Structure 1
């Protein structure tokens, strides 16, 4: 029974890695669609989000089954409970990628971000992709240096998020009301995506060290 239990725990991690890799693809394509006004790519992200949802649901069922049948305790219980929480955050990251793609689709053939903010959103998108890639490697390897890198990149995304608000509130902002709402939402989506990554990274770090470093998503 112990062998079966350990195999099930390995399967939990493998499924988390699988979902995280799909999230990398989703945010890569979503940010590209957003920045380049690529409606076909946006449609692909939207269509494929259901795969992430289904895998997250399957993982949740596995984790609940493990708790019911194996009755894990101590660190094993923390692994299973953390997997449930990480699955939820990964699923949400996939949803956020879908939201970014939906903005690109709604405004096609125009770009959501106008000239003055193109560079900001390009950098935010690139950072979100890097964060997703690091997170996938962190889940797979438990290389805790990646957790610190994710936090640092999140700090930069937060700075860019603030700069978007400063831009739309400035006297020189010439965007329409619709454009103002669009870029504000888009900035929030980019920022929240990284926040979820930080939350997952904290959980991985906790499992590896037993030390909790703070609250979850802001």
Structure 2
């Protein structure tokens, strides 16, 4: 878990919840997609702080929820993001369990947003099946399972009135391009995560302007 060590007096605050894709495993702090998004918002004249982050490589939905509780964070934020589920898929956990625990996290995220679902957005799960790490594995199966988990996340987000940003196609286009992946061959590079931030930018701007 990492919290922003240098909170500012910005007009808007931002919390980013997730796993390795949010913490930016194997890349620098400045390359994290949520940090890049905050920079883009700032460049567009929106006074938002660098994000507080609660995320760790390997976390499932349940582990993220447990970590949030353990953090004791009682603050509210103007913008909250959630990206979680790849480790549920990787560990072979059921879709029903994911739906239940994802819903609980949605409510937690909405709570962090002061009870305003219109200030929360979800990013879809990247497809790690196209990564160098996945060579020799059943890519079709991985992609199919990720699609199923993402369908749940999209459906439940829409029910809750939370915005959904589909970045999975961007991650699939990264196949075969080493520049899109971190040195570990599994996680994504800052270059790829910039594309996620660009995809989330118009949504984040709209949410903050509500």
TM-score (norm 1): 0.29
Higher fraction of strand: 2
TM-score (norm 2): 0.30
Task: Specify the structure having the higher radius of gyration (Cα).
Answer: 1
